[in-house]
A and B are shown apart, each in its own frame.
Chain A
């Protein structure tokens, strides 16, 4: 065996740039990348998970922006279409990793006491937010918004309002944000940052900068409940009670 052959067998391509480097080298001489397949795969895996999460978030952002700010979509049929699109996106992304995510649909250690406690917190929180937001709107914009103008005049108004604002968001936002997104972020980063990121993304998707003051704590609480209980159902119930209380304030 010649010297050249020996050098060839002792070299390996860099996992990032492909330059030939020493077989046992920990870093590439050319690009500086760490030469560990495990680390590289781990980074690639995390990056692809983040890209997938970004796609989910982008679909929601576009849908929310169109629903809230594009006047061409200010009709009941378009609102329904946008809500259904967001629901389908949440279910689709949740189902992508079905084998792992299905455990979140199991209601571990069901307790009526816990359910009642979450319902009480939800109602109390909604009551507080309703009056605080009303007061802020009056102080800042000198008007109090009615969120259900679009649905007024419809025969099934009560049913539609409750479906649009209490049932569907509670179910599909929890499935999307606390089911899929939080679970994905937990694989990318530590628990603290995953909870914070999912809460912040959930808050800003509501497109109300003034409401960030309550949306962020609300979403942080839901993420905390989802991690503590290891199921999405307590969160769905809490979210439903919170939204339903808000609906009843507007309807009654």
Chain B
């Protein structure tokens, strides 16, 4: 269990660190990975879905908001020719 958790931590850190350069790609990847992890924990122990449910909803909600913002910011960048 330690190795998958370490891999996950490294992947989330890498995605977080790269978000300012490629926001849409990083947030979509992060959200997908987070949801897969939640599903896997749910399959292993269905009660796990209820643990920290508010925090989970907040994380998913903010990530969805982040995706919308990333689409907007890419539009603005394109309009103003910002690299």
Closest chain A CB from B61 CB (angstroms)? 15
Size band of the B side of the interface? 20 to 34
Stretch of A99-107, A117-125, A191-199 with 4 or more beta carbons under 8 angstroms from chain B: A191-199
CA distance A50 to B68 in the complex (A): 10
- Which B16-30 residues have C-beta < 8 A from chain A? 22, 24-25, 28-29
CA distance A62 to B40 in the complex (A): 10
B36 partner, pick from A61, A190, A196, beta carbons under 8 A: A61
Among A39, A62, A193, find the residue whose CB has the most chain B CB atoms closer than 10 A: A193
Q: A43–B40 contact, CB under 8 A?
A: no
Whether B35 sits at the interface, judged by CB under 8 Å, is yes
CA distance A42 to B78 in the complex (A): 13
A72-99 CB mask vs B (1 if < 8 Å, else 0) is 0000000000000000000000000000
Using A192-B22, A201-B32 as known contacts, say yes or no to A46 and B71 having CB atoms under 8 A apart: yes
Size band of the A side of the interface? 20 to 34
A69 partner, pick from B11, B35, B43, B74, beta carbons under 8 A: B43
Whether B39 sits at the interface, judged by CB under 8 Å, is yes
- A46: chain B residues within 8 A (beta carbon): 71
Determine the residue in chain B with the shortest Cβ distance to A43.
B71
- B71: chain A residues within 8 A (beta carbon): 43, 46-47, 50, 188-189
Closest chain B CB from A207 CB (angstroms)? 7
- A50: chain B residues within 8 A (beta carbon): 28, 67, 71
- B8: chain A residues within 8 A (beta carbon): 209
Contacts between chains A and B (CB distance < 8 A), count: 68
B49-83 CB mask vs A (1 if < 8 Å, else 0) is 00000000000000000011001101100000000
B28 partner, pick from A39, A66, A197, A209, beta carbons under 8 A: A197
- A140: chain B residues within 8 A (beta carbon): 3
Using A69-B40, A70-B43 as known contacts, say yes or no to A201 and B3 having CB atoms under 8 A apart: no
CA distance A46 to B4 in the complex (A): 33
Closest chain B CB from A209 CB (angstroms)? 4
Whether B13 sits at the interface, judged by CB under 8 Å, is no
Using A39-B75, A65-B40, A140-B3 as known contacts, say yes or no to A189 and B35 having CB atoms under 8 A apart: no
CA distance A14 to B22 in the complex (A): 30
Whether B47 sits at the interface, judged by CB under 8 Å, is no
CA distance A119 to B24 in the complex (A): 33
Using A197-B29, A200-B29, A212-B11 as known contacts, say yes or no to A43 and B72 having CB atoms under 8 A apart: yes
- B36: chain A residues within 8 A (beta carbon): 61, 65, 204-205, 207
Q: B75–A212 contact, CB under 8 A?
A: no
- A209: chain B residues within 8 A (beta carbon): 3-4, 7-8, 11
Using A46-B71, A210-B3 as known contacts, say yes or no to A61 and B39 having CB atoms under 8 A apart: yes
Using A197-B25, A200-B29, A204-B33 as known contacts, say yes or no to A65 and B7 having CB atoms under 8 A apart: no
Among B3, B4, B11, B39, find the residue whose CB has the most chain A CB atoms closer than 10 A: B39
Task: List 10 interface pairs A-B (beta carbons < 8 Å), by A numbering.
Answer: A50-B28, A65-B40, A70-B43, A140-B3, A189-B24, A196-B25, A204-B36, A209-B11, A210-B3, A210-B4
